[in-house]
């Protein structure tokens, strides 16, 4: 039986992949979780069903993290209904790969707007409430690519590196009010995002992983679970790399 507590968490892009594993991990800790998605309602409802099987409390909320107005409205509604937000996990992300020479400005903009502006919008939307509560845990999902760069992913790498700077700055802004802000940087994790890659690219990535296996969404969720727990109350402004040793930062 899950031990209930009155903490509320919001996970963006919680309907599939890493986000779904994070939703299940946090609901397994007894948190009341709001699972955001953009378009995949069936996947979001499947996440709720999986959580309920484990006695978790999860509700879904559709909004686009790249749309500032929708983000403000969604968080206003969540705060009005739940009266608090203790945990925010900025997980929603997309990739639109292309070499710089061929990259369309739409590909650059879409990735920056979802992966970086979206994180800014959501962080800003919870800040006042967390300051009032004098408590909060923010975890931003960046990527190994934000540290190493990758040919064909300049847009994605720029957004993910930007998340690290945002995380450290916000950690300094909020620390005095008992709000921690950290990031988790996954390596090669098996999800829809990576299943689309050509087999040769997958093999090349796996060859760079000293632990010799692809990561699971649960590997990433475990790091998030730690960062939002009381055991991590003295950790802020940090990045935890979950990559099987692929990059040692």
Residues that bind ligand NDP (CB under 6 A): 12-13, 15-19, 36-40, 43, 64-66, 91-94, 114, 141, 143, 186, 188-189, 191-194
Closest to 214 (Cα-Cα) out of 226, 205, 222: 205
Strand runs labelled E in 43-116 = 57-62, 87-90
- Which one, 19 or 135, has the nearer CB to ligand NDP? 19
- Which one, 31 or 43, has the nearer CB to ligand NDP? 43
- Which one, 133 or 150, has the nearer CB to ligand NDP? 150
What residues contact residue 145 under an 8 Å CB cut-off, 6+ apart?
153, 156, 157, 160
Beta strand 57-62 with 87-90 is: unpaired
Residue 39: both structure tokens together: 């378009």
DSSP SS3 for 95: coil
- Which one, 135 or 191, has the nearer CB to ligand NDP? 191
Residue 6 CB, shortest distance to ligand NDP, in Å, is 26
Q: How far is CA 69 from CA 39, 81, 238, in A?
A: 17, 19, 29
Closest to 10 (Cα-Cα) out of 35, 31, 29, 27: 35
Residue 14 CB, shortest distance to ligand NDP, in Å, is 6
Question: In the annotation, is 234 catalytic?
Answer: no
Residue 87 CB, shortest distance to ligand NDP, in Å, is 16
Catalytic residue among 37, 117, 121, 156: 156
Nearest 5°: phi and psi at 240?
-100, 120
Residue 178 CB, shortest distance to ligand NDP, in Å, is 26
- Which one, 39 or 105, has the nearer CB to ligand NDP? 39
Please answer whether residues 23 and 14 qualify as being in contact, where contact means their C-beta atoms are separated by less than 8 angstroms: yes
Give the C-alpha separation, 234 to 178, whole Å. Answer: 9
Residue 162 CB, shortest distance to ligand NDP, in Å, is 12
Q: Which residues are catalytic?
A: 156
């Amino acid at each position: 039986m899950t031990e209930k507590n009155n903490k509320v968490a919001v996970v963006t892009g919680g309907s599939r992949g890493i986000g779904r594993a994070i939703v299940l991990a946090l609901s397994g800790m007894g948190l009341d979780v709001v699972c955001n998605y953009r378009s995949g309602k069936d996947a979001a409802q499947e996440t709720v069903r999986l959580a309920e099987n484990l006695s978790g409390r999860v509700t879904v909320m559709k909004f686009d993290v790249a749309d500032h107005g929708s983000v403000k409205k969604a968080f206003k509604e969540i705060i009005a209904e739940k009266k608090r937000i203790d945990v925010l996990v900025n997980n929603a992300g997309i990739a639109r790969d292309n070499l710089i020479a061929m990259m369309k400005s739409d590909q650059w903009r879409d990735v920056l707007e979802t992966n970086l502006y979206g994180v800014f919008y959501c962080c800003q939307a919870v800040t006042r409430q967390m300051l009032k509560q004098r408590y909060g845990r923010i975890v931003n999902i960046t990527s190994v690519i934000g540290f190493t760069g990758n040919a064909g992913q300049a847009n994605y790498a720029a957004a993910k590196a930007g998340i690290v700077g945002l995380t450290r700055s916000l950690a300094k802004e909020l620390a005095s009010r008992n709000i921690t802000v950290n990031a988790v940087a996954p390596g090669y994790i098996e999800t829809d995002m990576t299943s689309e890659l050509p087999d040769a690219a997958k093999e090349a990535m796996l060859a760079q992983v000293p632990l010799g296996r692809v990561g699971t969404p649960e590997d990433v969720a475990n790091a998030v679970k730690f960062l939002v727990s009381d055991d991590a109350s003295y950790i802020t402004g940090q990045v935890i790399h979950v990559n099987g040793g692929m990059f040692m930062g």
